Structure formats: C-alpha cells, structure tokens
Amino acid sequence: MDSPLSRQAIGMAVRGEDLVLVHASVRGAQIDWSLDRVPGLFREGDAPSVKIPERFRNPRATRVLVWPVDRMLRRDLDAAGQTEDDLRAAVGANLPSFFPTPADTALLWDLHVADTADQRRVAWLGGVFASGLEATLARLSEAGLAPSRVVPSGMGCAALRFAAGSNAEAPDRMLEVTPSGWATHTYHGLSWTGCRAGSGAPAESLVREARENGWLVCRWDDRAQPEEASRAMTIEHVAMGGALLAAPAHPRGATSFNLLGRTKGKDWLRSAPLRWTAAAAALTISLVIFADARAHRAGIDAQRLDAVAATLGRDAERVERLRNANDGMQGVHDRLARLESSYTPRWRMLAAITEATPDSAWVQRIEMTDHDFVLDVESASVSEVLGALEGSPDLGNAQQAAGQQTIEGGAARFRVMGVFDFSRTDDAQGGS
C-alpha cells in the first residue's frame, strides 16, 4: 500500500492497442517503480473488459500521457529576450499564423522554452488536432486513467536525464522510432531543446549516424539492435519519463508543457452582429462615464490609491514567488549532489535487465529499487532465464520465488528476484 506521505505519479504511453503504465511512488529522494501493460485497451469497438491494477487508479496520483512527436504539428521559434508567458500570449493571439487550420478545427497546443548549447534561447511549439486525441483520452477516461497532462515524448526522456543525476551520464542526441514515424531529439544538460521528425521508418543513413556517434536509441517496439544494447531505450523508458515529469523532484522549469492546457478557440469578434453588439456596449459605457464628470474625477483619486495598494500586493507576491523559487532550486541542487554521490541511473538498471534477459523470455512486469529487482516472466525454461540473469556482470543473486504457473503452449509464468551489482563493471572500466 502506498504511504500517505508519498507522492504518486503515473506515466502512460500507447503502442497500438496496448497501454504501457509506469507507477512512481516518491518519498523524499527515494522513488519506487512498478511497470505494467494493459493489452487490448485501445482495441476498436466497445471498450474492452480489462483489469487495471488499483495502484494506477489512485486518485492522489498525477497521470501524464506521453505522445510521440512525429504525430504532432511542430514549429521552432526564436525566443531571445522573451519570457515563456509572453510567447504564449503572442502565439495564442496569432495561432493561425503558426498552424494554418480551418476556423472550426479545435487544436491543442503549448510551447517549451529552452537554452541551447550555443547559448541561444529557443521555443518549440507543438500542437495536436483535438480529433486525433479524443478517442485515446475517452478510452483512458473510461478506464479510470484520465491524464491531467499530455507531453511530447522527447520531454519525457529529458526527465530521465534528470533522474540520471549528471549532464554527462547520457549522450546529448537521441533517435526515437515509433510505430508511426521517427524523431531525433537534442538535449543540453537536463533540458530538451527540440527535435526534427518524420513519418515512416528512419533512413538507413540516420540509423548509421546514430550508431557511429553513440546516440541513445529509443524503439517503441522493444526491438533494440545488438549494437544498440548499451544505449537502448524502450517504450517503458518513455512512460517512465512521463512519470518523472509529474514527480515533485523534477525541476520546475521543465514541467510546464501541457497540450491539455492550451486550446485554439473561435474569434467571436469576426461575427458582424457581435461586432455591432460590442460597439453598442462600448458607446453605452462611455455615456455613463461622462454623464457626471465631477463624480468621475472624484473616483480617480480612489483608483490611484487602489493602484498603489495593488502594486504593493504584487511586489509582496513577487518576493514570495522568488523565495519559493530559490527554495526549489536549493532542493534541486541538494538532490543533484546526493545523486552524483550515490544514485545509479534508472536507464542503466533497465538496460542491464534488458541485455541479460534471453530473447525467448517475455518480461511482463518489473519492480525496482536502488538495490534489487523483481521480474514477472513468461518462458519455456526457468533455468535459462536464471542462468542468463546470474551470468550478467551487473546482476546477481538471481533466484526464483516460490511457485510457478504453467500456461498454454507449455511455457511457465514465474517470478524472479535479484540484486543490482555494478561494482564489477565499474572496476573493469576503472582499470582499463
């Protein structure tokens, strides 16, 4: 059972008819993870009768849906000298200039501001037609998993870099391959700075460039190439990044993007009758104001006093916001210091399990702490799985939990426990 003192965060990603779920329970600097898949949730027709684990229905949990960027409308903007709020206001007032769409088409959008490695301030503008998300959001809502945020996939991977605790822990480029297309992402420190994307399979030259330059490679179909094993990521990593975006330990500046928070509405003043109504209302207000000039002048002094009081109130609020921001940054620095000295990156743990697990085995569920792991596995050979895990230089003490279940085809469903031990790999790298 989740502790009432912990914060619950859930990341979600959709692959075909299946939903991938990652649950994060955050208490202080400790994050406990559990992963699950819900097969057939998005099957066409009536909502299927599927069982959702209760921990994912927790009303206290914040749920984030990660959406592939190759299925989004995208624009890159120069953000020099502008705040994020100013840019949002400018884009919202002129959205058709950025995304030319029919007036009656609903568009969900938001933007992300970041500083690049060459000291440029850029903004990434992303949008999705509401009709393209409606079916997914409706099915999630029916299952009791309605998200409060929808973010691009590259931003979730930036959250994983934060969890790694070091700017140098992972490459600054990533190739992402989804069922619908591909994207290349760039990162600066712990921040996602943008991407380029396309539909269909990536060109062989792009795959070769990623391999030769040591990029991270995220394949949503879980089929990492042998040469990508040490830097491979899967759809579980994508969902995990979504959970980290909802976790309170993530830096504030990277968590504002939300497709559910911005919409393109109709410009009602384009309607001629409404323009006449607005003009008549303005004329009526003007007549009321000037009907008694002396009363108007007397009210000016009161308005000035109100303005001074409001200014003082805003100054106090600004000081409070700065104090809270400073406290938040101090907390982030303290956490980074702890991570640098003791934390093992989650992507490294998942990579160790992925690399060690035989191709003939299917890992249904993973639970991890900083020191040990529990796997629910389907395989025709228990001994093969245990031997493969025990033979990994980064894993140890692999053993089967009591009991197993024989399933159709002669395979077995069983649980394996073990511990992480990266000391041998680290010692070997240190001695080389």
Encode pLDDT of 187-238 as tens digits. Answer: 887 678 888 899 999 999 998 998 888 888 888 886 766 766 667 788 888 8
Cβ–Cβ contacts within 10 Å for residue 87, how many?
17
Question: By mean pLDDT, which of 63-77, 129-143, 287-301 is the weakest?
Answer: 287-301
Structural domain count of the chain = 3
- Specify which residues 181 forms β-bridges with: 199
Residue 400 lies in a domain: yes
Percent of the chain with pLDDT over 90: 22
pLDDT over 50 (residue 101): yes
User: Residue 253 has what pLDDT?
Assistant: 39
User: Do 155 and 210 belong together in one domain?
Assistant: yes
User: Residue 224 has what pLDDT?
Assistant: 64
Write the CB contacts of 268 (distance below 8 Å, at least 6 apart in sequence).
274
- Specify which residues 124 forms β-bridges with: 76, 112
User: Do 145 and 227 belong together in one domain?
Assistant: yes
User: Do 133 and 199 belong together in one domain?
Assistant: yes
User: What number of residues does the chain have?
Assistant: 432
DSSP character at residue 146: -
Which of 206, 235, 261 represents a domain boundary (last residue)? 261
Q: Domain range holding 290?
A: 269-342
Compute the 3-state secondary structure of the chain and give helix, strand, coil in percent, each to the nearest 5. Answer: 40, 30, 30
Residue 416's domain is classified under what CATH number?
Answer: 3.30.1360.100
User: Do 308 and 394 belong together in one domain?
Assistant: no
pLDDT over 50 (residue 165): no
User: Do 91 and 238 belong together in one domain?
Assistant: yes
pLDDT over 90 (residue 65): yes
User: Residue 12 has what pLDDT?
Assistant: 93
385 confidence band (pLDDT: 50, 70, 90): very high
Instruction: State the distance between the two ends of the chain, measured CA to CA, in whole angstroms.
Output: 45
Which of 314, 342, 370 represents a domain boundary (last residue)? 342
78 versus 253: which is more confidently predicted? Answer: 78
Mean pLDDT (the chain, rounded): 80
Q: Please give the backbone phi and psi of residue 265, each rounded to the nearest 5 degrees, phi first.
A: -100, 175
User: Do 337 and 351 belong together in one domain?
Assistant: no
User: Do 182 and 58 belong together in one domain?
Assistant: yes
21-40 pLDDT, tens per residue?
A: 998 887 766 778 888 998 98
Which of 312, 342, 372 represents a domain boundary (last residue)? 342
Tell me whether strands 173-177 and 216-219 are parallel, antiparallel or unpaired.
Answer: parallel
Residue 311 lies in a domain: yes
User: Residue 227 has what pLDDT?
Assistant: 67
User: Residue 162 has what pLDDT?
Assistant: 55
User: Residue 150 has what pLDDT?
Assistant: 94
User: Do 315 and 195 belong together in one domain?
Assistant: no
User: Residue 240 has what pLDDT?
Assistant: 87
266 confidence band (pLDDT: 50, 70, 90): very low
pLDDT over 50 (residue 299): yes
Q: How far apart are CA 357 and CA 379, in angstroms?
A: 10
In angstroms, how far is CA 178 from the centroid of its own chain? Answer: 15
b/e map 111-140, b = 16+ CB within 10 Å: bbbbeeeeeeebbbbbbbbeeebeebbebb
407-426 pLDDT, tens per residue?
A: 887 889 999 999 998 888 87
pLDDT over 50 (residue 371): yes
Residue 81 lies in a domain: yes
User: Residue 432 has what pLDDT?
Assistant: 59
102-141 pLDDT, tens per residue?
A: 878 889 999 888 888 888 888 888 999 988 899 999 999 9
Is there a contact between 422 and 432 (Cβ–Cβ < 8 Å)? no
Residue 134 lies in a domain: yes
Write the CB contacts of 120 (distance below 8 Å, at least 6 apart in sequence).
78, 80
Q: How far apart are CA 49 and CA 24, in angstroms?
A: 25
Is there a contact between 38 and 145 (Cβ–Cβ < 8 Å)? no
Residue 1 lies in a domain: no
Residue 367 lies in a domain: yes
Residue 187 lies in a domain: yes
User: Do 179 and 310 belong together in one domain?
Assistant: no
1 confidence band (pLDDT: 50, 70, 90): very low
User: Do 255 and 292 belong together in one domain?
Assistant: no
- Strand ranges, E, within 157-249: 173-177, 181-188, 191-199, 216-219, 232-233
Residue 368 lies in a domain: yes
User: Do 91 and 127 belong together in one domain?
Assistant: yes
b/e map 319-338, b = 16+ CB within 10 Å: eeeeeeeeeeeeebeebbee
User: Do 215 and 127 belong together in one domain?
Assistant: yes
Q: Kindly state the average pLDDT of the residues 285-310.
A: 64
